[in-house]
Each structure stands twice: as structure tokens, then as C-alpha cells.
Chain A
Amino acid sequence: MKIDIKYKWLLSLVLVGILASCSDDIEDLTLESPPEKASLISGTLTLSSIVQNDENAVSKGFPSFVQSIDLASRFDFSDFALELNEDGSFTLSSGGAPNFIGVESGTWSLDDPEFPETVTLNSGSNSIPLRVKTYNGLLEGEINLSFDREFDGKLVSSYQLTFEKQ
């Protein structure tokens, strides 16, 4: 019985010592605001993957080889780059690949700076929406966008784009 009481007092002293030593660390711990999505998305983005989907085939569960095509295996997109500048301007350089987005320069914007769902490229009378597919990879400099093609209000095909921020 006496041994147990001594053991408990010893534990108590140890715990107090631990808590006392942590208090300074806790006081020094501050939470930093997460980086804004706009700053994560903007910059020089090089295209690392482009897959064309037939959304009709996808919805019907057709075999995978009928659902999509990896266009990067058929065209050289290594120099395809999208520059989203902090001043709101953009330039698109397709290099030797087809410019399937159809615009080269103009202004860009987000529908929601905190939780963006769409990056819009504006050039003259053209307004090209690029849907943000996921925030996964943003912190690592990976931006996943979808260039959707609609007909009669229905999604018929899409281009799944993965950019790497330089």
C-alpha cells in the first residue's frame, strides 16, 4: 500500500513536469491561414496530362478503351503552357500541339476566390470555363481542370487536364 502511494505521487510529479514544460510550446503555437486557392492556381502551368472522355460512353459503362483517349500519346504537349498572372491576365502557348482551348491571351478569373469551382479564360467575345475537378494536389503544385463540351445542355465530352505548376 505504501509503495502504491509513492508510485502515484511520482507519476503526478512527472505529469506536472511534462505539462509545465509544454506550456511554453503551446503558447508559441499559432495557426497559419491556409494559402489562398488563387495563389495556388496562378502561375506558369505546364500540361502534364490530357485525356479526352466520351461522356456518353462513360455514363453507359462502355469498355474503358471506348470511354477515353490519352491525347498526350498522340500529340506532343510538352511545350503546352498556361500562364495565369497575378494581375489577372493570361497567355496560352500551345507549342507544337493543337490549341484545343481556342484562345491565346486575355484575362482570367475564379468564380469563388476561396473555394473556386471554375477558372474562366476571357478573350474578346470568348469565355472559356475550365472546371476545377479537385483540390487534391494543389499544395504540391498539381492543378486538375476539366474542359467540358456540352450540347443541348448535356455534357457530351470533356478534356481532363492536369497541369504542373512551375
Chain B
Amino acid sequence: MSVLIDKFDVFAGGFWLTLQICFLAAIGALILGAVVAVLRISPVPPLRALGTAYVTVFRNLPLTVVMFFAAFGLPALGSNANFLRIPGLDAVFSRLGTDLPYFRFALIALSLYTAAFVCEALRSGVNAVPPGQAEAARSLGLTFGQNLRYVVLPQSWKASIVPLGSVIIAMIKNSALVGFFGVIGDLSQTADQLTSAGGYAFIPVAIGISVGYLIMTVPLGALLDRIEKRQAVAR
């Protein structure tokens, strides 16, 4: 078990990189998922079809396949995902700005995939708002956008937040795949480094990375439980 102490800096580095990718992918997925959710509930049929198509594709493909498309498809299209080299942001998240694009590719794949689930969590919240609320808003002359902003969304987030949290927890665990698609040094790839290259026994290393993931997921789960309890009281 001495590996946990001897190589603490490697685990810590892996933890930090996984935290970075999860943080950025969560933001990406929340924004994109919100956009897709708006498409799916829009009164315009072509927009609805577009939203539905997005969810159908990304919810039903394995994340591994999406990762393959990002890691091999984007270079084939001549893209290095350089639009993610956002000045300022790449000072904090240094991997965003590197010449090696795999961090950015992984980020895109994880965001696209998770956005489909975020969309459905948000939509379930919207569906939990009684239809009479939106109907009353329409009858006052509020437009679709105003209806969402002032009437539906303020009431829907309460029903969305718990499923949304579950989606983000799943995403943190899913991020373990990125090490297999060229991202070097995230928490799960750390295990590979230490066992194959470093010659350490697998089980202690596995325990180390498990602790790393639990540090991210357990507090998030506890937070969700608290929110859920508070909602139960409010009801």
C-alpha cells in the first residue's frame, strides 16, 4: 500500500486533471443540454425534431463510440478543436491550450454525450410544472421565451435538480474513459502509468484512484440528498 504515499503526487495530479475535465464538461453539457431542451419543447416542429434527433443519437450511442468519433473523426475533418483554446480559461485549465488536442476532443465527446441526459433531466422538470401554468402565461400574451423565463423554468428547476445531479455524477464516472483516448494523466490513466510503467501492484493503485473518484462523487450525492429533503419539507 506504500504506493499511496510514495506516489501521492501522481494521484493528486490525476485527481486535479479529472476534476478539470469534469468541471469543464459539466459546464459544456449544462449549456448545450439547456439549448437542446429548449429545442425539444419549442412550438416550432423542425426545432423540436432537431432536439429529438440530438437526444436520440447521443443518448443511445455508447460513450466509447462518441469518444472514437471525437478522437478520430475531428482530426479527419481537419479540426484540432482549437476553438476551445479560450484565452484566460486556458491559463487555469492548461490542457485546453496545448498543441496535443486530445484533452479538447475528450471534453467535446463528454459534453455532447452528457448534454443528451441533461436535456432529458431538464425536460422532466418542465413536464412536472402543471400545464395550466404555461396556458395561463400564453393567455396573457407572453411569448414562448417569456413563458419559459418567467413562469415555467423558475418552477421546473426544483424537479430537475436531483436528476440533474445524478447525470453529473454519472458523467464524473464516465470521464474515466478519457485516458483511453489520448488524454494522459487523468485519474484512471494514472493507474495504467503506475502499474504498467511503474510496476506497482494493481489493487492498491485501484484503491487509490477509487478514493479519488469518491472524493468528487460522494459530496455531490450528499448535497443532492439535502436538496431533496428540503424540497420534501417545502411540499
Question: Do A and B bind?
Answer: no
User: Chain B interface (Cβ within 8 Å of chain A)?
Assistant: none
User: Chain A interface (Cβ within 8 Å of chain B)?
Assistant: none
